Amino acid sequence: MLTTTELKASRRKPALGEVVSFIADTFRRNKIRFALTGAGIAVGTASLILVVTIGLTGRQYLLRLIQSIGSNEIWAEYESGAQRITSAPFDFLTLGDMWAVRTQVPGIVAATPVVKLGERIPIRDGKERDILILGVYSDYWIVRNLIPVSGRFFDRQDEEAHSKACVITLTMAQELYGSPEAAIGRTIKLSGLPFTVIGTFKERVDTLGQTEVADDTMVIPYSASRYLSDTKNVKMLYFSVAAPSMVVSATSKIRDVIVARHRAESVYTVENLSQLVVLADRVTRTLTLILLAVAGVTLMVGGIGIMNIMLATVGARVQEVGIRKTVGATASDIRFQFLSEALAISVGGGLVGVVVGLGLPFSLRFMTEFRIPVSGLSAIVGIVVSSLVGILFGTFPATRAARLNPIDSLRHE
């Protein structure tokens, strides 16, 4: 039954304070039911925010992996002579191509050829081992963003002096000498020529063998690789530009320069990692959409809970509606009151969900070294969506209450 205050208030247009008072009184009478209903909305809102956070974190992680490989990196490689119908020799890349690119393409800050050679070297117990030899310029370390583990990389002075220095992979150092430190100063003979190990390295990201660097790889100066091979052809050309924004345009210009220097039927691959960036965006966006759909289902379930609890509330307050209509409350007043109660449940649950959804990432920031990205926009979207859920699923019970006949309502037991 309505109190005296509520009877007087129902004769005129209810003010905001009176609506809040009605809502608070209703909540006090149904604490557990409303709390459980709001919890469903809170879970859905928190899920929505956490899904956005997961998507941003996944994208950030993938981009960091790509940047670790070299986001400014461009490589060129001879693919084939297309449909070869002549006995013309293969049209491989040369050092001249690299210097032409450095001269004609703006923004190139580093470049190196890559010559691939194979060799069998003796190891302990009279056994031999196949290794991969890469002849490169000192810029190779910059372009490929490699990490020194022990010792040092060879520099331009080593290159100019035709130094028989080499750097080997961390895996090769551990398998041959037990540790990267123990490998420093050791001698490896290539075609009878002694090369001294001056350092060990590893790739910044495990590429799972998808690059030119294998587990058993030995890197030597390009000038020293000429002792092992008399050809001027190179397997690949690597370039690095000043900024990631220049990669796409530089890739196109590099391709034009190389194609112009070779036969028309020759095919060259000139690529960069921007495709991986696009793929990373696509993967994280798809994953986020799938998880958002799951969060949306959770909010829908919460909305159905709001509708059920409001229908039950309407059934329990039929006489109250009849009395309010009898003393002058209009159907719109009744609809607004019940819709406000549904909205209060959804917004309250949404606020709790925002606190939980933002609290977990921020807690990880403070308690660990992880810097998980947090989207403030996702919190706003969460509140808006939870409010829309309250309005959508609260409209039917509110309309049902507004259509009650006051005479039949007063007779309701």
* Eight-state DSSP code of residue 125: G
Provide the residue count of the chain.
Answer: 413
Distances (CA, A) of 120 to 123, 153, 217, 229: 10, 23, 12, 15
Is the per-residue pLDDT at 111 higher than 70?
yes
**Cα(230)–Cα(253) distance, integer angstroms:** 30
Q: Tell me what pLDDT residue 207 has.
A: 61
> Residue 1 — very low, low, confident or very high, per pLDDT cuts 50/70/90?
very low
Supply 138's token pair: 């000192």
The per-residue pLDDT of the chain, averaged, comes to 81
Is the per-residue pLDDT at 214 higher than 90?
no
Q: Tell me what pLDDT residue 403 has.
A: 80
The residue-averaged pLDDT of 306-317 equals: 78
Residue partners of 196: CB distance under 8 A and separation at least 6: 164, 165, 166, 185, 186, 187
Q: Which residue has the higher pLDDT, 322 or 154?
A: 154
Q: Which residue has the higher pLDDT, 33 or 133?
A: 133
Domain ranges of the chain: 4-65+279-411, 72-272
**Cα(16)–Cα(337) distance, integer angstroms:** 10
- Number of Cα atoms under 13 Å in the Cβ half of residue 221: 21
The residue-averaged pLDDT of 79-93 equals: 65
